[in-house]
């Protein structure tokens, strides 16, 4: 009897998997390739499949042509409950970065499009704006790209304007031409200080754009990324917003998407975000370092952890941790409020080789010997 139950469960899981893949193919035909999280949401929340296991679905997705290129390892373990929240309580605060596509043999990229594209992500609404950089990454080219993005922002958010731009320390951005441009537009500019690169929201968006364009190419004759770029961005702006692993709902019960946030519902949206992630409010307060227990001291030499290998994998009774070769010295200790509303230690560290400065959480660094003089 148990054997027949197992056979029936396997047949039922196969049937459910076919239905999920029919939905995925339909999304590809609409030029809206879903992310893995969207597939899980459709299978388990929308359809309510219980027989189909996540491991089965994940393994099958890796064999799907549109997803096969996306298998990768994360560099660091994910500390989901201790990530620093991004704090913004109004639309118009943009986090920006530059994205690129390699010159491929399949379709020779014209010189006009080899400088990549500018991505601007609204921190609150998650709405993504893009503008292609034509020919160069000069200040003049960036100025044209930002002007295009500011116009798109006005269309999406009637009656509002861009308040601030956050960017890595790109030479053209930090130059006189661009700084004067931001002042003339009355837009505050913030250069990331504590790390060599902290434009994580924009960087993640660029990665998602690249992956989406790759999936679009699989099911399209179009191979020119600059033609597929608007479709990829539209697909991202149509995805439900998730904050602190919770979807944000509108008054009618539908999920908020970046494209849904507007001047009429933005106040309600902010209240729902604060309910889903109270740390958005509490992290506005500074944390006195004297109340935090730090494992390391200012002046200690540390190395970042590269990867953690579990004992189940290496076949021994303990875990091994591999460290990077680069040594940093701790210059400052800080505290931050995590998404789980706990106070966590943070270390500002400077490389002993270059002038690079990085911010590390306590659980991803280890003490290192004094570097040779």
Q: Which residues lie closer than 8 Å to 168 by C-beta, 6 or more apart?
A: 97, 191, 192, 196, 197, 198, 199
Average pLDDT over residues 127-131: 94
CA 371 to chain centre: 34
Residue 197 confidence (pLDDT) above 50: no
Mean pLDDT of 289-300: 88
Structure token pair of residue 319: 């875990």
Helices (H), the chain: 2-29, 36-40, 54-62, 139-156, 171-174, 176-184, 200-218, 225-237, 266-276, 279-282, 311-314
**How large is the average pLDDT for residues 245-260?**
90
| pTM listed for this prediction | 0.62
What band does 6 get if pLDDT is binned at 50, 70 and 90? low
The predicted pLDDT at position 146 comes to 95
- Give the per-residue pLDDT at 119: 93
Confidence of residue 120 (pLDDT cuts 50, 70, 90): very high
Q: Check: CB of residue 122 under 8 Å from CB of residue 91.
A: yes
Q: What is the domain class of 80-282 according to CATH?
A: alpha beta
């Amino acid at each position: 009897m148990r054997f027949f139950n197992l056979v029936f469960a396997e047949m039922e899981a196969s049937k459910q998997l076919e239905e999920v893949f029919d939905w995925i193919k339909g999304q590809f035909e609409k030029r809206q390739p879903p992310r893995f999280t969207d597939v899980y949401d459709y299978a388990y929340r929308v359809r309510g499949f219980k027989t189909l296991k996540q491991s089965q679905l994940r393994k099958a997705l890796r064999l799907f042509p549109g997803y096969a290129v996306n298998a990768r390892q994360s560099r660091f373990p994910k500390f989901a409950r201790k990530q620093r929240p991004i704090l913004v309580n109004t639309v118009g605060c943009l986090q920006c970065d530059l994205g690129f596509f390699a010159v491929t043999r399949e379709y020779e990229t014209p010189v006009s499009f080899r400088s990549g594209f500018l991505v601007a992500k609204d921190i609150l609404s998650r709405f993504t704006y893009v503008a292609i950089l034509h020919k160069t990454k000069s200040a003049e080219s960036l100025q044209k790209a930002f002007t295009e993005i500011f116009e798109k922002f006005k269309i999406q958010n009637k009656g509002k304007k861009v308040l601030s731009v956050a960017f890595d320390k790109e030479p053209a951005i930090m130059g006189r031409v661009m700084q004067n441009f931001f002042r003339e537009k009355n837009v505050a500019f913030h250069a990331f200080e504590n790390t060599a690169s902290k434009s994580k929201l924009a960087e993640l968006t660029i990665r998602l754009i690249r992956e989406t364009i790759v999936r679009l190419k699989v099911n399209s004759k179009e191979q020119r990324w600059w033609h597929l770029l608007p479709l990829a961005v539209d697909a991202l702006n149509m995805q439900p917003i998730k904050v602190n692993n919770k979807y944000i709902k509108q008054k009618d019960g539908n999920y908020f998407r970046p494209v849904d946030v507007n001047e009429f519902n933005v106040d309600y949206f902010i209240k729902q975000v604060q309910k889903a992630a109270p740390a958005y409010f509490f992290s506005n307060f500074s944390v006195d370092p004297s109340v935090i227990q730090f494992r390391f001291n200012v002046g200690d030499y540390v190395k970042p952890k590269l990867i953690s290998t579990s004992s189940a994998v290496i076949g021994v009774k303990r875990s091994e941790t591999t460290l990077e070769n680069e040594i940093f010295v701790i210059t400052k200790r800080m505290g931050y409020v995590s998404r789980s509303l706990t106070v966590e230690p943070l270390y500002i560290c400077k490389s002993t080789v270059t002038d690079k400065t990085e911010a590390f959480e306590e659980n991803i660094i280890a003490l290192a010997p004094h570097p040779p003089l």
